[in-house]
Amino acid sequence: MNDMAEQYSKMVECATELADFFLDHKNGAFALTIVCEILQVLLQSGELSAAGFVIESIFQLSEIEFPLEIDTDVENISFNLEQYVELLSEILEIRLES
């Protein structure tokens, strides 16, 4: 398995763990929705460092290992953060439907 596939697999696994962390708490869907919206706004505004900081902080709070490697390539950082936010949003949507 190549590095990109492994990293994406780890992102999916950790996104699921993080969603479970939020959804296991009272009003967790609301908190996860707010987090997803904040991250989407930051990414749309080009605030990659702020979005990365928010994600890292959430992982520290939830005591889940941060899945993304720190990369100096802005395009890779942007892609990884966008994919991560999309994963969280999809998980939230699926959980709310069931």
Per-residue confidence band for 71, with pLDDT thresholds at 50, 70 and 90: low
User: Is 60 exceeded by the pLDDT of residue 1?
Assistant: no
d(CA 3, CA 30): 34
User: In the chain, where are the structural domains located?
Assistant: 3-97
User: Is 60 exceeded by the pLDDT of residue 70?
Assistant: no
- Contact assessment for residue 88 and residue 36, using Cβ atoms and an 8 Å cutoff: yes
pTM of the model: 0.68
User: Is 80 exceeded by the pLDDT of residue 86?
Assistant: yes
List of residues 6+ apart from 84 with CB closer than 8 A: 11, 15, 55, 67, 68
d(CA 29, CA 82): 20
d(CA 89, CA 25): 17
Q: What is the pLDDT of residues 4-60, one digit of tens each?
A: 677 767 777 877 887 787 777 766 777 888 888 888 898 899 888 888 888 888 888
Transcribe 55-81 into DSSP letters.
HHHHHHHHT----PPP-S-HHHHHHHH
